[in-house]
Structure 1
Amino acid sequence: MATYTPMIQQYLQVKADYQDAFLFFRLGDFYEMFFDDALKASVELEITLTSREGGGEERIPMCGVPYHSASQYIERLIEKGYKVAICEQTEDPKQAKGVVKREVVQLITPGAMMEGRGLSEKENNYIATFSIFDQESFGFGYSDLTTGESKVTLLEGDTELLLNEIALSGAKEIVISATTPESLQNKIRERFGGTLSFEEKEEISGSYQHLLNKLNDPKLSTTIARLFNYLYRTQNRSLDHLQIVAPYEIQQFMKIDYYSKRNLELTETIRSKGKKGSLLWLLDETKTAMGGRLLKQWIDRPLIQKKDIVRRQSLVEAFLTHYFERQEIREKLTEVYDLERLAGRVAFGNVNARDLIQLKRSLQQIPALKETISQLYHDEAERLAERLDPCEEIVDLLERAIVDTPPLSIKDGNLIRDGYHEELDKYRDASRNGKTWIAQLEKEEREKTGIKSLKVGYNRVFGYYIEVTRANLHLLKEGQYERKQTLTNAERFITPALKEKEALILQAEEKSVELEYDLFTEVREYVKEYIPRLQELAKTVSKIDVLQCFATVSEERHYVKPSFSNERVILLKDGRHPVVEKVMKAQEYVPNDCYMDREREILLITGPNMSGKSTYMRQVALMAILAQIGCFVPASEATLPIFDQVFTRIGAADDLISGQSTFMVEMLEANNAISNATENSLILFDEIGRGTSTYDGMALAQAIIEYIHDHIGAKTLFSTHYHELTILENELKQLKNVHVSAVEQNGKVVFLHKIKEGAADKSYGIHVAQLANLPSSLIERANEILHNFENQEAEEVEQPASTQLSLFEEPVVKEKPLLSSKEKRALERIKEIDILEMTPMHAMNTLYELHKALKNS
């Protein structure tokens, strides 16, 4: 340190506390970076790398960005997952003795940012945390700094349950203890790629003690305290907009694990990772950013309490049956800005005058919105209307104080209305009158001198002046003006009267700007007192927005209100996949019925590829989710049970990062379902067992079906190409075969996309290959090979029964036994095993061993 200059020493001292962040070190009009930060930032930001002498033997790498445009560079770094520490001068350079004092005033991170491109207006920007209490007990909490919302829960289970909650939160940053096992840290990085930050302090501070009032468990308090300690430590400013922490239990909502959420494409599609094509994309007819965020939260966590679901349905129905009132509500909502984030910016201190005008205009819509809601003549709607607080005091203040079209900057004046403050009006009058006097002076001096080009001008360096071109200098009398500045083609002068007026004008303008800033901060502090009321208003407006959204979609797409069965009955008439139906546009979507009751717990679905098996299964799950978030569903009639969980195994992809094959991923997801499902769950399994050999896959598929049938009893849709499994309908009384119909016309297959009772008779695989335009010679050869296989199979079936061996019957032989002694012992051992008493994975492994033994024999 001693070898460096005092300024570089100061930089290194600050940097020592922010090793995991880029340090933006303020030097004059630039934020500078040095050493490794400079080397890395020059690459990430594509800016010029330079160097400077730092007092040591070698030159120090250096790069920088202008402070007035720093935000765009900061946003680029945050989008890449980095952190940025803003180090400002906290001392007047004129009064500094030695190096100007500098301190980090804010740490900007992916999970702790208040503005910028990284914030999606219809998506929360969560920062999360968790605490480990033992191997199967965790505290998990998250907060959105932009809105002040915070939630926390206790999780009883393995780390997969914790990882699932992290995934559902979509957190951009996770705050943990340094003692968190490295294996768990690596899992989080691999799965989610979020930024990991560290905070050890779990003590509850007095500054936010009141935020924990609803928490009655010290585990919840210490979990969320870690997050609050991190936020207060890194932000260095008021966080008065943080709301009281809301505890929740995952059992209060339908459980949809990360894989099922992905497979069903609830909020983003699998391929593009974008919103378009997802259920959220279909439903989002919200008119406010707040409503858009709430809609996503409802989709992520559907309800399971019937009374809560019915209450939402009832409100949707009220909006649906009042078309004109709904249209008026939608128009008013269009004029409402993001009240949640505006309140956050007020507390954070980065709100500007234009933000306050947006707040005023939003609040001005509330009285009319309140009146229209009350015209729905519905008890629940009336209660919503009563909670619409117009905050007239804020509207009145902002109307009197802030001009309608203020500038972006709050430090350059022209923010405050005339008549709002007497002293400000005096300064303005002095400034305006002074400028009028100067205009009059220019006119008078032109007349006195006869110089028509004479002008009275102003610049910041020299102030006001009288300018005369060189060609006209001879027209001036000796000593008429006092010389001030000489230019190439002109001379500038001053007079005692102009100098006196200049002092009055500049003093008035300077004091005016200073006073305007002070008045603006007073207005901001006044609005700050209303943050709790604004946040409550935002919640009510958000709810109204989502409910009208459900009504709008339901009306436009001809959805019906579902009823709920206590007898676990699924009755869907003319059901459609909501997203596929919308994407098809003018094409006709083929609707399908679905009926399941206690005698039809499992539907075994067969049919060719591309015929619609996966679409059929998905539409049942999506209708269940739509129903339990309170929306209507795409059918002509709908009755559903209330599901506690939805599990899916649809499609497959290798997980290369963790070294898991397609088949392993499939087995893990299958195990997750059969280990956690209850009789009140919904399971969708698509082509289980296709990732391994035919006999292995078929054995696993059958064992899984039997296990679900005998041990779980969950409503299950199981699609398969193993037509041999359709015989299970004769053995499992609660399983029924259905198939997607197809017909052949002129040697080509036509998919009817219609679900019918019974099993499919063919798979039409070669026909699908033909539709994909594979070479005709290849198709002909495939048909030839298929014909040979079918003939061979028929010959094997026709063998005399006497040549068939019973599974465990030792054959009678004269010369050489068919089974070795080792194989005999294996079969004897298998006879003693009771598969139904095993865990699912143990049963699968045992069946695999049985298959190998039989294959060897």
Structure 2
Amino acid sequence: MTDQPTPMMAQYLAIREANPGSLLFYRMGDFYEMFFQDALAASAALDIALTKRGTHLGEPIPMCGVPVHAAESYLLTLIRKGFRVAIAEQMEDPAEARKRGAKSVVARDVVRLVTPGTLTEESLLEARRHNFLASFANVRDDCALAWVDISTGEFRVMPCPAPRLAPELARHAPRELLAVERSGLDEIAAEAGSALTELPPGSFDSGAATRRLCALFHVETLEGFGNFGRAELAAMGAIVDYLELTQKGRMPLLRPPVREASGGAMQIDAATRRNLELTQALSGGREGSLLAAIDRTMTAGGARLLERRISAPSRELDLIHARQSAVAHLGSDPRLTADLREALSRSPDMDRALSRLALDRGGPRDLAAIRSGLTQGAAIANMLAEDAPAVLAEAARDLTGHDEIVDLLDDALIAEPPLLARDGGFVAAGYDADLDETRRLRDEGRGVIARMQADYIAETGVTSLKIKHNNVLGYFIETTSTHAERMLAPPLNARFIHRQTTANQIRFTTAELSELETRILNARDRALEIEREIFARLCRAVLEAAGRIGQAARALAEIDLTGGFADLASGEGWVRPHVDASRAFLIEGGRHPVVERALKRKGEAFVANDCALTAGETPAIWLLTGPNMAGKSTFLRQNALIAILAQAGAFVPARKAHIGMVSQLFSRVGAADDLARGRSTFMVEMVETAAILNQADDHALVILDEIGRGTATWDGLSIAWAVMEHLHASNRCRALFATHYHEMTSLSARLPGVENATVAVREWEGEVIFLHEVRKGAADRSYGVQVARLAGLPPSVVERAKEILHQLESGEREGAGKPAALLDDLPLFRAAPPPPPRPAKAQASEVEARLRDVNPDAITAREALDLVYELRGMMVDQAG
């Protein structure tokens, strides 16, 4: 036992101390090993065996490990469980360490920190979603948010006042958020699903940030990229500083930063995104969301672009109209759309291939992905006519002019190269003469030797000449003593060098044979070395063209999304909406895309409804009443989703749509508590409602459902009433307001911008039939008791509820006055009558007893007829 760690363990502890907060993957041969607390944490998280290796301070050292070749799957598990991982690789050949002495340790160092926001490996990423790393900076109350996806190169920044941080994080859903301090951000980051990483203030220094960004993009000034404020520079600089730290100086291939204007997209807060299930269903996962219902994209890049468009619908009219025109163009030519989509289905993810190559984590397949993507891009560009709409024409231009790099990759690579460059075998035959010869030696050594032997026989005239091999001499030329005399005499003796004489044979060599021997023995290693050199040259060529390749990747995504929207519109009967700068909101035959999709799967039809919120320049609010389960929430949501789709550039599920620009979208639908922050359901409802009333402008669209239901009836009615008046008088926005407070329908007579609408139902023989039709007018009841019966409440509870409801309604009609008086006057609180006792079980009759003994499957038709006569006779006897 010793208190001094071994040299290897001392190295481990030193590297571990230099990388606090991360699990250390310590490379030992074919495994990444972990020790001490890292081993305990990793074995539990990965469910792998925990072993021991030696002792430290008198205690056994816990140890576990994962195979290097399977490390990515383990990394994914650790990242998803909130860990960061430092990867320490062997920086030299172990043989070199042994030369320094028995106690020398192989040099190791951390080559990369793996964190949630810095993933690039294909197996660690979701192909159809971005993996953003975000940074929030606050410089003297001037705030900004920057975000980057190092797997695609996307790099953006925007001014972001502190109150806007939560909505913007909800929009981008970054995997990791960088901040100078954690105060107040833990809760916001957790709500967005982001791991919060604290950096020192120096990382957010705006002056240092400018220098970092200029160095990264090899420019003297950032003015060519935009006019950035100090907070924006600080946020971007922190990202660059963090990437230098985690990537150990090997920076990813980032595009120049783009500054987003705060008013360029429809503002959608976190609660609204959650309520409308834009990219994720309330139940968790993608299925059931708007994104899942409308995604017809064929490529990973197109899918990521779709999510960005749905998450941030545009407020630029010209851009919206241009995108709609492109969709209409493809929608008018189904054959062209089908051909484009078929070609797109063969297009790989060039963005992520480029990123891996830039970080030296790529392989031959990434080069092949670039080749295939550019090849398909050229074919797609040829399909588009010169007079195509601007969006498609610009994309087509970005897909052309890549012949040089395509030819290079086509000449150099085989059709289907292996994943890793270290395996070799990816360079095409005929591309490099030296490699071809080396491979020939490696693969056809015997054939090469046989051809050389034939050449020597022809040159010497010695037919018995043989080229042989042994472990002592290696390759040598052997002939009999008689024939050797010719080779020992001039001029052949200058070429054939005597090596050995035996009893009956004489052995020679030549300079060519010695060189060939060396080349054959080293052919495998030399072939791999040549291929690595070629791979490096190809990577440099691709990265030199990275800017234009990135443009081509974005062009493919744009065409893919446009084709997906066109296919969706033609397949589902969607129409082009008219979008302008007005406050109009006129929908004819609108439908909910997610609900309609679910109903179609069951063979059922969706009931379409109209919505008209325009009343000149006055506020336009519909007060929607009707029973539960009639479809109010569906109606509210579908109109919000139609607005999102329209401003995303898509067609919409309706017969006709006229949508004035929606600046902000707010949704207060559904109920849920927030126990983590100590908020009741009602408090959550009020917080979300307050956010709407404090922010909504006159071009906002607001949908509210059951405001005030989380408290006492009269409190709730009072709050709902006041909210409605505030929306009308102060916010002056377009709104759909669903409620069960029928008393509020009288507001339509007092407020000029409010109209009543209701969801129709029918009663038939005590049953409630939901028609799902929205009509002008007001409901006079909620049918809550009937819905409760449909839900399966015990009959005694349903009957008691009917009795209480009847008494309350009668009291109101008879002028009972205050609620307290009504309750005092009516016998509402007497004990509910017990359910009637079950009748005593009657003794079975002779007929029943006889039937109990009969097995219908075991009697014939004749026996059954006889049984009927028998039973009839027994009944006659009983009646007599």
Q: Using structure 1 for the length normalisation, give the TM-score.
A: 0.83
1:79 is aligned to 2:91: no
Q: Which amino acid aligns with 2:735?
A: T
Q: What's the C-alpha RMSD, in Å, of the aligned pairs?
A: 2.8
Offset at residue 191 of structure 1 (A)? 5.2
Secondary structure of 2:88's counterpart equals strand
Q: Which amino acid aligns with 1:551?
A: A
1:115 is aligned to 2:127: no
Secondary structure of 1:53's counterpart equals strand
Q: Which amino acid aligns with 2:594?
A: V
Aligned to 2:546: 531
- Whether contact under 8 Å (1:742, 1:751) holds in the other structure is yes
Q: Which amino acid aligns with 1:683?
A: V
Change (3 A) 1:496 1:674: farther
1:569 is aligned to 2:584: yes
1:795 to 814, 817, 822: 814
Aligned to 2:864: none
How far, CA to CA, are the matches of 1:6 and 1:379 in structure 2? Answer: 66
Change (3 A) 1:568 1:193: closer
- Whether contact under 8 Å (1:82, 1:195) holds in the other structure is no
Cα shift readout 1:140-173 (whole Å, capped 9, x = no counterpart): 10100101111111123xx331122122111111
1:69 is aligned to 2:70: yes
Secondary structure of 2:273's counterpart equals helix
- Whether contact under 8 Å (2:589, 2:655) holds in the other structure is yes
Cα shift readout 1:34-79 (whole Å, capped 9, x = no counterpart): 1110111111111221222255322221111222222222221112
2:335 to 318, 324, 330: 324
Report which stretch shifted further, 79-88 or 48-57.
Answer: 48-57
Offset at residue 375 of structure 1 (A)? 6.0
How far, CA to CA, are the matches of 2:437 and 2:192 in structure 1? Answer: 63
1:225 to 233, 237, 259: 237
- Whether contact under 8 Å (2:177, 2:189) holds in the other structure is no
How far, CA to CA, are the matches of 1:73 and 1:240 in structure 2? Answer: 23
How far, CA to CA, are the matches of 2:569 and 2:805 in structure 1? Answer: 48
Q: Which amino acid aligns with 1:39?
A: L
Cα shift readout 1:785-815 (whole Å, capped 9, x = no counterpart): 211222222222589xxx99xxxxxxxxxxx
Cα shift readout 1:243-284 (whole Å, capped 9, x = no counterpart): 10111122111101111011111111111x211121111221
Cα shift readout 1:599-653 (whole Å, capped 9, x = no counterpart): 5611110000000111111111111111111111111111111110011100010
How far, CA to CA, are the matches of 2:792 and 2:169 in structure 1? Answer: 44
How far, CA to CA, are the matches of 1:705 and 1:696 in structure 2? Answer: 14
Change (3 A) 1:648 1:798: closer
Offset at residue 334 of structure 1 (A)? 0.9
- Whether contact under 8 Å (1:364, 1:390) holds in the other structure is no
Cα shift readout 1:630-689 (whole Å, capped 9, x = no counterpart): 111111111111110011100010111111011000000000000000111011110000
2:795 to 771, 776, 791: 776
Secondary structure of 1:657's counterpart equals helix
Aligned to 1:410: 421
Aligned to 1:382: 393
Aligned to 2:568: 553
1:166 to 169, 179, 193: 169
Aligned to 1:176: 179
2:158 to 136, 147, 153: 153
Aligned to 1:392: 403
Aligned to 2:346: 335
Q: Which amino acid aligns with 2:559?
A: I
1:521 to 536, 554, 560: 536
Q: Which runs of 5+ in 1 are unaligned?
A: 442-455, 465-481, 483-494, 805-857
How far, CA to CA, are the matches of 2:625 and 2:634 in structure 1? Answer: 13
Offset at residue 236 of structure 1 (A)? 2.2
- Whether contact under 8 Å (1:562, 1:633) holds in the other structure is yes
Cα shift readout 1:814-844 (whole Å, capped 9, x = no counterpart): xxxxxxxxxxxxxxxxxxxxxxxxxxxxxxx
- Whether contact under 8 Å (2:582, 2:660) holds in the other structure is yes
How far, CA to CA, are the matches of 1:725 and 1:191 in structure 2? Answer: 36
Offset at residue 195 of structure 1 (A)? 4.4
How far, CA to CA, are the matches of 1:745 and 1:281 in structure 2? Answer: 38
- Whether contact under 8 Å (1:316, 1:548) holds in the other structure is yes
How far, CA to CA, are the matches of 1:703 and 1:550 in structure 2? Answer: 41
Q: Which amino acid aligns with 1:110?
A: P
Q: Which amino acid aligns with 1:185?
A: D
Aligned to 1:208: 216
Cα shift readout 1:735-792 (whole Å, capped 9, x = no counterpart): 1111111110001111111111111011111111121222222222211121122222
Aligned to 1:131: 137
1:596 is aligned to 2:596: no
How far, CA to CA, are the matches of 2:195 and 2:118 in structure 1? Answer: 13
1:401 to 412, 422, 425: 412
1:664 is aligned to 2:683: yes
Secondary structure of 1:252's counterpart equals coil
Aligned to 2:250: 238
- Whether contact under 8 Å (2:584, 2:614) holds in the other structure is yes
Q: Which amino acid aligns with 1:756?
A: R
How far, CA to CA, are the matches of 1:243 and 1:328 in structure 2? Answer: 31
Offset at residue 225 of structure 1 (A)? 0.5
Q: Which amino acid aligns with 2:605?
A: E
Offset at residue 33 of structure 1 (A)? 0.9
Cα shift readout 1:699-746 (whole Å, capped 9, x = no counterpart): 000011111111111111100001111111122121111111111000
Q: Which runs of 5+ in 2 are unaligned?
A: 453-467, 476-499, 501-506, 823-880
How far, CA to CA, are the matches of 2:580 and 2:247 in structure 1? Answer: 51
1:248 is aligned to 2:249: no
How far, CA to CA, are the matches of 1:439 and 1:696 in structure 2? Answer: 101
1:258 to 248, 270, 274: 270
- Whether contact under 8 Å (1:138, 1:162) holds in the other structure is no
Matches within 5 A, 1:470-485: none
Q: Which amino acid aligns with 2:216?
A: Y
Report which stretch shifted further, 5-14 or 224-233.
Answer: 5-14
1:144 is aligned to 2:149: yes
Report which stretch shifted further, 184-193 or 297-306.
Answer: 184-193
How far, CA to CA, are the matches of 1:116 and 1:369 in structure 2? Answer: 25
Q: Which amino acid aligns with 2:726?
A: Y
Aligned to 2:465: none
Aligned to 1:294: 305
Change (3 A) 1:721 1:398: same
Cα shift readout 1:532-584 (whole Å, capped 9, x = no counterpart): 11111111111111111111111111111111355422221111111111111
Change (3 A) 1:505 1:209: closer
- Whether contact under 8 Å (2:217, 2:256) holds in the other structure is no
Q: Which amino acid aligns with 1:161?
A: R
Change (3 A) 1:251 1:65: same
How far, CA to CA, are the matches of 1:24 and 1:58 in structure 2? Answer: 22
Cα shift readout 1:162-197 (whole Å, capped 9, x = no counterpart): 1221221111111222xx253333442355352424
How far, CA to CA, are the matches of 2:817 and 2:9 in structure 1? Answer: 91
Aligned to 1:487: none
Report which stretch shifted further, 248-257 or 351-360.
Answer: 351-360
How far, CA to CA, are the matches of 1:71 and 1:496 in structure 2? Answer: 54
- Whether contact under 8 Å (2:441, 2:448) holds in the other structure is no
- Whether contact under 8 Å (2:384, 2:392) holds in the other structure is yes
How far, CA to CA, are the matches of 2:640 and 2:25 in structure 1? Answer: 50
